[in-house]
Amino acid sequence: MHVVITGTSRGIGRELARQMREDGHLVTGTSRDHSSGTQLDVTDPGQQARFAARIKGEPVDLLICNAGVYIDKDLGISDYSAEVWAKSLAVNVTGVFLTVQAMLPNLRLSQAPKIAIVSSQMASHQRAPGGSYAYRASKAAALNIGRNLATDLAREGISLGIYHPGWVKTEMGGHEAEITVEECAAGLIQEFDALSPATTGCFRTWDGRDHAF
């Protein structure tokens, strides 16, 4: 299986790439720098086009849209700037759509193509504890994009799921988080394996539970 994963320079993306390679899959990992072997700023249409041209004609069986930023974790209302909003939305929302758009020709070459969007429980409209406005809004938008893409792509046989990775001990999640990156990646991989046309459009947790929208 050929897997493309964005944001593999660290954290969840790097561990997903490691475990999937250990499972015998061909993994193409990307990052904004060259640390993953393939440079891809998901917000840059030119880089998206060059990446797509590089793997033109190669089937992609699973696309994992993992790249994301959380730059307003500790900001108060008065600390927000237009730049915080612009960067959060560019990476977490526009970047997801541009990646799916760029990889569609490759996905269409697969016998059972799948797309996984790593969102967050903070996307849920049933959770409103306050704060992290840009991150919550951007992840909610990614969830909405995923749900609607799932509808449109179902007619082509492409399955799409949206996933909450848990509170993970990474640079983003912090040391007080609940699960290790190894546990998170292993759980997500099981969920990706279970994704099918029957479950397309799902919002699931890393440990196999349906999440409230």
pLDDT at 162 over 80: yes
Question: What domains, with CATH codes, occur in the chain?
Answer: 2-205 (3.40.50.720)
Nearest to 193 by CA among 208, 183, 173: 208
Calculate mean pLDDT across residues 56-70: 97
CA-CA distances (angstroms) from residue 101 to 27, 48, 50, 124?
19, 9, 13, 24
CB-based contacts of 83: which residues, under 8 Å, 6+ apart? none
The Cα–Cα gap between 149 and 167 comes to 26
pLDDT tens across 85-118, in order?
A: 999 999 999 999 999 999 999 999 999 999 999 9
The whole-chain average pLDDT of the chain stands at 93
Calculate mean pLDDT across residues 14-42: 93
The Cα–Cα gap between 104 and 95 comes to 14
pTM comes to 0.94
User: Where does the pLDDT of residue 210 fall: very low under 50, low under 70, confident under 90, or very high at 90 and above?
Assistant: confident
104, 97 contact by CB (below 8 A)? no
User: Where does the pLDDT of residue 179 fall: very low under 50, low under 70, confident under 90, or very high at 90 and above?
Assistant: confident
Calculate mean pLDDT across residues 41-61: 97
The Cα–Cα gap between 32 and 87 comes to 14
pLDDT tens across 118-137, in order?
A: 999 877 777 778 889 999 99
pLDDT-wise least confident of 10-19, 35-44, 73-82, 157-166? 35-44
